[in-house]
Amino acid sequence: MPDFPDHPLRYDLANELHARPFPTIPHGSEAALLALKAPRNAAARDRAADRAHLIALLDRHGAQHPRPDATHFSGKIGRYRLTWEQHTEFVTYMVHGPGLSDRPFDPAIWDVFPEEWLAQATGLRVTSAHFRITGGVEDDAEITPALHDWFEPESLAVSRVLDDNAVLASDFRIDPAGHMRFAIFPRPATGRSRIGRIVQRLSEIETYKTMAMLGFPRARELNARMTEIDNGLSALLADMSGHDSAPEAQLDQLLGYATDLENLMSRASFRFGATGAYEAIVHQRIEALREARFEGRQTFAEFMLRRFDPAMRTVKSTETRLRSMTDRAFRAGELLRTKVEVDRSAQNQALLESMDKRAALQLRLQETVEGLSVVAISYYAVNLLSYLLAPAGAGIGIEKPWIAAALVLPVVAGVALMTRRIRKAVH
C-alpha cells in the first residue's frame, strides 16, 4: 500500500470527534453541574488559569492531570467522575456518581468542590444544576408525588423523552441551595449510556439557556440609549427640511449620533451573535430529546416557548433596530453631505461669477491704462524726436511746432502697434 503523506492535523481532527463521549450513568445516581464565566469587564478567558484551577481540584483528590493543551478532561475524583470542558466564554465542571440520598437533592455531592477552591475560581458562577436520577420507574403514579414535592407547579415542565425511555422534570428555578433542579425518572430497561446522554443534553440545555439569556439585559440596556439617539435623530431629520437649517452644524451632530451607534454596535455584536448561537443549540438539544406530553403538563419545548423565546425575540429585535438605526444615520449623513456639497457648489459658482466680474473690470482698467500709456509714451516720443529733428528743420526753414505736428500720428501709431505686439506676446 502506498505511503501517503498526512496533513499534520489529520489525527488531531479525527480524535476531536471522539474527545467528548457521553458519560455512562447508572440508575440511582446524582450529578452536579457548575459553569463559570469570566466577569463582563474582563479580557478574554485565561485558558492557562482555567487549567491551573482544574489541576488544583484534581490535586486535592489525588487525580491524574490532563494533557498540557487539553480543553476537555474526564477522570475519577474520589467516588465521583469529573468531566471538565473549556469553551469560548465559559468553563464547565460536571461530576456524577452512583448512590442516592433519602433526602431529595441532597447538597452533599457539592462537597466535591471545596469552598477554598471555589473562592479561587477563575470566573463567576453563571449557573449550577443538580440532577437526581432515580431507580427504574415503571408506573407513572410513582412520579407524580415526587413532582409535587420537589418542584414549583406553576413553572414545572415534564415530558417523556426518547420514546418513553425516561421522564424528565424541572421548574427552572434556583432552589435554596442555589442550584437548578432536574429530575430524571428512567425506565428499568433504560441503559447507562442513554441516561448519560440525557444528563449531558440537560446540562447543555441549562448552560446554553443561561448563556443565551445574558443577551437580554444587554438588549434592555441598549434600548434605553437607542431611544435617546432615535429621538435626537428624528428631530435632526425633521430639521433637515427647514430653510433656515445649517447643514454643516447638523452634519457634526449627526456624526455624533452615528459614532454612538457604531460604538453600541461594536460592544453588542459579539453578545448578540453568541446569544443567537446559544439559542439555536438550546432548541437543537430539546428537539433531540423527542419529547412527548406527560399527564397534560407543559413540555420543555413549551416552557422555552413561553419563557425563553420572548427574551430571545427581544434580543433579535434590539439587534435589528440597532442595525436599522445605524443604516438610517448613514443615509441621513449621505443626504446631509450631499446638501452641504450642493450649498458649497452654489457658493463656488457665485464666487466664480464674482471673480469673472472682477476680471472683466480689471481687463477694462488694464485697457484704459494701456490707452493712457500710449498717449504718455507718444507725448514723450514726439518731444524727443522734435528736439532731435529741430536743428535739421531749422536748416530747411521748418519750425519745431510743425515738426512736432508731423510726428504725432506716426509716433502714436507706432507706439500703439508696439504695445499690441507686447500684449499678444505676453498672452
pLDDT at 245: 63
pLDDT at 197: 95
The band of 57, judged by pLDDT with boundaries at 50, 70 and 90, is very high
Full residue range of the structural domain in which residue 325 is found = 215-351
Q: Establish if 8 belongs to a structural domain.
A: no
Q: Which residue has the higher pLDDT, 65 or 409?
A: 65
pLDDT at 42: 55
pLDDT at 309: 96
pLDDT at 410: 80
Instruction: Looking at the structure, tell me whether residues 265 and 410 fall in a common domain.
Output: no
State pLDDT tens for residues 102-140.
899 999 999 999 999 999 998 899 999 999 999 999 999
Q: In which element (H, E) is residue 32 found?
A: strand 29-37
The band of 6, judged by pLDDT with boundaries at 50, 70 and 90, is confident
Q: Residue 338: is its pLDDT beyond 60? A: yes
Q: Establish if 84 belongs to a structural domain.
A: yes
Summarize the confidence of residues 158-171 as an average pLDDT.
96
pLDDT at 365: 73
pLDDT at 199: 97
State pLDDT tens for residues 71-89.
889 999 989 999 999 998 9
Angle made by CA atoms 106, 110, 114, in degrees to the nearest 5 = 145
Angle made by CA atoms 115, 121, 123, in degrees to the nearest 5 = 135
Q: What does residue 174 show for φ and ψ, rounded to 5 degrees?
A: -85, 125
Summarize the confidence of residues 183-211 as an average pLDDT.
96
The band of 372, judged by pLDDT with boundaries at 50, 70 and 90, is low
Instruction: Label residue 283 exposed, middle or buried (CB < 10 Å: 0-12, 13-18, 19+).
Output: middle
pLDDT at 397: 67
The band of 206, judged by pLDDT with boundaries at 50, 70 and 90, is very high
Instruction: Looking at the structure, tell me whether residues 307 and 272 fall in a common domain.
Output: yes
Summarize the confidence of residues 135-158 as an average pLDDT.
94
Instruction: Looking at the structure, tell me whether residues 364 and 398 fall in a common domain.
Output: yes
**Count of CB atoms situated within 10 Å of the CB of 389:** 16
Instruction: Looking at the structure, tell me whether residues 234 and 312 fall in a common domain.
Output: yes
Mean pLDDT of the chain: 86
Domain finish residue from 298, 318, 351: 351
pLDDT at 416: 73
The band of 236, judged by pLDDT with boundaries at 50, 70 and 90, is confident
Q: Establish if 205 belongs to a structural domain.
A: no
Q: Which three cell numbers stand for residue 24?
A: 455512562
Q: Which residues pair with 30 in a beta bridge?
A: 97, 132
Q: What percent of the chain has pLDDT over 70?
A: 90
Instruction: Looking at the structure, tell me whether residues 148 and 272 fall in a common domain.
Output: no
Q: Establish if 206 belongs to a structural domain.
A: no
Instruction: Looking at the structure, tell me whether residues 166 and 269 fall in a common domain.
Output: no
pLDDT at 409: 75
Summarize the confidence of residues 174-191 as an average pLDDT.
96
Instruction: Looking at the structure, tell me whether residues 383 and 324 fall in a common domain.
Output: no
| CA gap 174, 176 in Å, rounded | 7
Instruction: Looking at the structure, tell me whether residues 122 and 223 fall in a common domain.
Output: no
Question: What does DSSP say about strands 29-37 and 166-170: parallel, antiparallel, or unpaired?
Answer: unpaired
Q: Establish if 5 belongs to a structural domain.
A: no
| CA gap 332, 251 in Å, rounded | 9
Q: Establish if 86 belongs to a structural domain.
A: yes
Q: Establish if 290 belongs to a structural domain.
A: yes
pLDDT at 291: 97
Instruction: Looking at the structure, tell me whether residues 162 and 226 fall in a common domain.
Output: no
CB-based contact 85:72 (threshold 8 Å) = yes
Range from 34-43, 201-210, 387-396 carrying the lowest mean pLDDT: 387-396
Range from 48-57, 212-221, 292-301, 378-387 carrying the lowest mean pLDDT: 378-387
Range from 255-264, 265-274, 294-303 carrying the lowest mean pLDDT: 255-264
pLDDT at 210: 96
Q: Which three cell numbers stand for residue 60?
A: 486535592
Q: How many domains does the chain have?
A: 3
Domain finish residue from 290, 322, 351: 351
Instruction: Looking at the structure, tell me whether residues 161 and 41 fall in a common domain.
Output: yes
Q: Establish if 9 belongs to a structural domain.
A: no
Summarize the confidence of residues 52-61 as an average pLDDT.
94
pTM, 2 dp: 0.78
Instruction: Looking at the structure, tell me whether residues 33 and 157 fall in a common domain.
Output: yes
Instruction: Looking at the structure, tell me whether residues 180 and 241 fall in a common domain.
Output: no
